[in-house]
Amino acid sequence: MTILGTGSSGNCLYLETGKARLLIDAGFSARQIRQRMASIGRDPDGLDAIVVTHEHSDHAGGIRVLTSKTETPVYCNRFTKEALDYQTRKPLNYRVFETGGAFDVGDVTIQSFSVPHDASDPVGFIVYTPDGNLGYITDLGCATRLVLERLRAANVLIVETNHDTGMLQRDLRRPWSLKQRIMSRHGHLSNDAAAGILEQVMSDELRQVFLGHLSKDCNRPELALETVGEQLRRMGAEHVKLDVSTQVSVSETLNFSVEPNSIA
């Protein structure tokens, strides 16, 4: 698994198993995605699927161009499909799933679940691979009971730490109405909220957490790491490795099939 980038201007993750190669979200330009995949020796022309959480451009903006020559299947739910149809003005090779349902791509099973966010029908995923399970939530205003139940199966978790509450409140560039939306139940998770989620989903099987979707104006990697790391220390979760991912660089590749906390 490689996080190609995550943040307010673009989100994209690459996952490869013995029988599947897929992207979760494609929120960078097609050119950027190609460049980022090339940096890890991969090419999007051989993808088996692009799996989409919701239609916002920082999660789906590169899909139209990226699939223009390959006809790569695009997996999303019905309301996200309708929103993408309106945005792209181009028929895509859709595979429509029901929110809450599961589907297979090669040897990977992807379980979708609803999350509260201001999109048509946004979802998170728990991805079951032969070597471990990946939890993926990048845009949500709060964690419902359903979200928490699904994430407890994760061995690796990517969770949103969009903003530091104090920095967001002090920010002079955003109107109060926008700040209210960001902090609402259908907005984005703060560092403290993400720490609270980990407190509730912690297990002996969770071995690595990536913090993502950081605001470039209202958060800093060291703040996110400090807040969530302190929560892990209070819990005695010394077995969990904590990393932060940004949209400016590709993360190190995580190999699920080796010892916990190892990278390829």
- CA gap 222, 225 in Å, rounded: 5
pTM confidence score: 0.94
Question: What is the pLDDT at residue 90?
Answer: 83
Domain boundaries, the chain: 2-244
Question: What is the pLDDT at residue 225?
Answer: 98
Per residue in 215-261, pLDDT (tens digit) is 999 999 999 999 999 999 999 999 999 999 999 999 999 998 765 44
Cβ atoms of residues 125 and 51 within 8 Å:
yes
Per residue in 182-210, pLDDT (tens digit) is 999 999 999 999 999 999 999 999 999 99
Per residue in 109-122, pLDDT (tens digit) is 999 999 999 999 99
**In 136-220, which residue ranges form alpha helices assigned H by DSSP?**
145-151, 165-170, 176-183, 191-201
Question: What is the pLDDT at residue 89?
Answer: 83
CATH 3.60.15.10 fits 2-244, yes or no: yes
What interhelical angle do 221-235 and 191-201 show, nearest 10? 30
Asked whether the CA dihedral 48, 4, 205, 189 is positive or negative, the reply is negative
